Structure 1
Amino acid sequence: MQLSNITRSPGWTAFFASPMSVIGLIIVVVIVALAALANIITPYPTHVGPIGDFAAMNQAPSAAHWAGTDPMGRDQVTRIIFGFRLALIMAAVVLVTSVPVGIAVGLLAGYKGGWTEYLLMRLTDIFLAVPPLVFAMAIMGFMEPTLLNGMIAITALWWTWYARLIYSVTRAEAQEGYVLAAETIGASTFHILFREILPNCLPTIITKMTIDVGFVILMAASLSFLGLGVQPPTPDLGAMVADGAKYMPDSWWLSLFPGIAILIVVLGFNLLGDGLREAFDAGK
């Protein structure tokens, strides 16, 4: 299929016809570009670590420091941009690790049925019964608060939503003619699950993953805010909000700008995910 045909498809037409979808796409592209080019475009790249400028400590927003400086004189804009990079890396690792597990569980339970379905779905329901932030906090209570352990804590629960989602889709797809035809010719369970059913689940998976990037970042920020995530001096948006709260209301910029950054990244991925869902629905 030619590229011109793809861009003129009903799905993409619906996507670009929605202002909110386009805004979400622009936000995501800008944030990813900032994170990728952080070392080049940030005005004070050395401020990403413990090195600061005590002559500029706790300065309000100005032409030299658009979002002010922290108590060590480090530029807030620089640390926010590097915080974007850390947040995107964490979201990517969590989703790349948890999504395949959830997909495998959902496919197997939805297609096989019987005791396989009962055991896998009841296990999923047990995990889903626990609030995600509480579950992650419980895990972090037994582990050292680091970036790696934070990703493990979030990943331990994130697969469950994909298992439940793919289970529902697989139950419906398993009754379709193409699956029955594959069974008739003796196709293996592996072939039916991953070559027949899974491709039809991809639009749903892609949409949820896009939206979940924002939620993973919000979860990681919540852990850092509580002191259970990434530790100083690594620039983390949640930790920056928590540290800045100690100096409110005098140094209001310390919490305000990292908080706005979290809001923007979550909003961007949510708008993009909603746009992709509309595009996939229109393209059916």
Structure 2
Amino acid sequence: MKKAFAILLSNPLSVLGLVLIAFVVLSAVFADVITPFPSHRGAVVDFANFNQPPHWPNIFGTDLVGRDLFTRIIYAYRVSLLMGLFVLLIAPPVGTVIGLMAGYMGPKTGYALNRLTDVFLSVPPLVLAMAIMGVLKPTLTNGMLAITVMWWPWYARLVYNITRAERVEGYVLAAEVIGASKWHIMFREILPNCLPAVITKMTLDFGFVILMASSLSFLGLGVQPPTPDLGSMVAEGAKYLPDSWWLTVFPGLAILIAVFGFNLLGDALRDMLEAE
């Protein structure tokens, strides 16, 4: 463990990833404290200060109805993190169980589960999420459900490939010889060897979930106003480029910081787990 942490802290990019993620998480948790205008996260109108460029105390400027852009970006991080947590608390367990069963159970079960996974993987993720949101009402909850539905197959395929390789290892054959049940072998013997790859993918996917959620909101299919969302802020600001550049640039940078930080952290975790 000490060696793993030494590898983590010795890599400047890993440290940068930790710093960026800490900034995003702490900003979201303490948004009520650090934002200058907490009420601007909702349906507030201040036409006296509408569409103002960055200045004090509106360091990121104001939007088209006078709300502080910095405040709305910080509260939008809450929405993004909630989206990521919801998706990654459901999709990986579902995909992992399906991948284990497809890789270890009999050929009929494996074939059926693999074909089910292929159906979902055959459709581009954003297109599938858009199709789901086209049927459902655009809300935060439905957005999370749409992304979850399209995310589990990637974990199923990852765990399936690992399980197919592990099922011929000596420890699995030994468990079969002593009469261990299939469920015991899958969840007590094979699963621990799948977890490092799953955890690494979850960390990398957190950023991609935020990016996907922002894409849906950019298209008007995600979180709806007045709830602050990074994607919808970028979409709204894009109409007024280049004059009101801050409306798009700062929400876009916020997305970049979150995605970049989780990608760096995912790479760091992969190096740590390989070192153990």
Which residue, out of 181, 200, 203, partners 2:196?
203
Moved more, 208-217 or 15-24: 15-24
Pairwise mapping of residues 185-204 of structure 1 onto structure 2 (< 5 A)?
185-204=178-197
Q: Residue 3 of structure 1 corresponds to which residue in structure 2?
A: none
Pairwise mapping of residues 10-21 of structure 1 onto structure 2 (< 5 A)?
11-21=4-14
1:76 Cα deviation after fit: 0.7
Alpha-carbon distance in 1 for matches of 2:182, 2:9: 39
1:170 Cα deviation after fit: 0.8
> Deviation digits for residues 31-51 of structure 1, max 9, x if unmatched?
111111111211110000011
Identity %: 62
TM superposition score normalised by structure 1: 0.95
Partner amino acid, structure 2, of 1:256: V
Q: Residue 77 of structure 1 corresponds to which residue in structure 2?
A: 70
Alpha-carbon distance in 1 for matches of 2:168, 2:10: 34
Alpha-carbon distance in 2 for matches of 1:172, 1:12: 29
> Deviation digits for residues 170-192 of structure 1, max 9, x if unmatched?
11111222212222222222211
Q: Residue 146 of structure 1 corresponds to which residue in structure 2?
A: 139
Q: Residue 122 of structure 2 corresponds to which residue in structure 1?
A: 129
Aligned with 2:135: secondary structure? coil
Q: Residue 220 of structure 2 corresponds to which residue in structure 1?
A: 227
2:31 is equivalent to residue 38 of structure 1? yes
Pairwise mapping of residues 1-284 of structure 1 onto structure 2 (< 5 A)?
6=1, 8-9=2-3, 11-283=4-276
Unaligned ranges ≥5, structure 2:
none
> Deviation digits for residues 146-185 of structure 1, max 9, x if unmatched?
1111111111110000000000111111122221222222
Unaligned ranges ≥5, structure 1:
1-5
1:136 Cα deviation after fit: 0.6
Equivalent residues, number:
276
1:53 Cα deviation after fit: 2.1
Give 4+ residue runs of structure 1 displaced > 6 Å after superposition. none
Partner amino acid, structure 2, of 1:50: A
1:219 Cα deviation after fit: 0.5
Alpha-carbon distance in 1 for matches of 2:187, 2:118: 24
TM superposition score normalised by structure 2: 0.97
1:242 Cα deviation after fit: 0.5
Partner amino acid, structure 1, of 2:18: L
CA RMSD in angstroms comes to: 1.0
